[in-house]
Every structure is written in C-alpha cells, then in structure tokens.
Amino acid sequence: MSKTIFQKIIDREIPAKLAHEDEFCIAIHDIDPKAPVHVLIIPKKLIPRVGAATAADQATLGHLLLTAAALAKKLGIAESGYRIVINNGRDGGETVPHLHVHLLGQRPLAWPPG
C-alpha cells in the first residue's frame, strides 16, 4: 500500500506548515482552510479512520483531543470557541484514509455543518 499524504508529511517527504509535533502526533495548518484557524492533528501511527480504531488506540485518540485543546489555547481560539471534527468514511467527508482531527476557529461556525 502506498503512503498517504499525511505519512509523507510525517516522514518529511512533503513540506507542511507545522503547528505542533510530539512523539505521538503532528499538527499542520490546512492548505485549504475552512476557517481562519484550521489545523489538522494527525497521529504518527497510521489508523485509517476513527471507525477502524481499536481499544489499543485509546491513548492515541485521547492524545489527539488533548493536543487539539492545547493548540486552541496556543492559537488564541480557546476563549471564543472552536470546533473539533473527525470525518469517517465517504459520506462523512473523509478524503484521506489516515485518521486526523480538524481544529477550526476564529469565526462563528454554523450548525448544522455541511
């Protein structure tokens, strides 16, 4: 199986604007942002989608959400509010088969989305 674009970014084969990196994940600014702040938090471990995660991935999933909250503070959107999105499957809007969390903010976000 060929690498996903996110694996190539993690391996530094493709450049990206980093917002955060630690031993478990990388966070990059989205190249097609849907809000003034739009960051993708991506686990370094390949998990195709949240629906494919197992109990063994529990710590990774928690780390992604805690990283999103920390980035919201760092990027100045924690007080005004932000949205965290995880797409799963074609109808859920998934375009890359590598789990990632979208962190969006710095503008009012309507409900329902889509």
Residue from 88, 106, 108, 104 nearest 33 by CA: 104
Which one of 29, 38, 98, 100 is the catalytic residue? 100
Q: Is 100 a catalytic residue?
A: yes
Q: What is the 3-state secondary structure (H, E, C) of 13-52?
A: CCCCCEEEECCCEEEEECCCCCCCEEEEEEECCCCCCHHH
Residues annotated catalytic, as ranges: 100
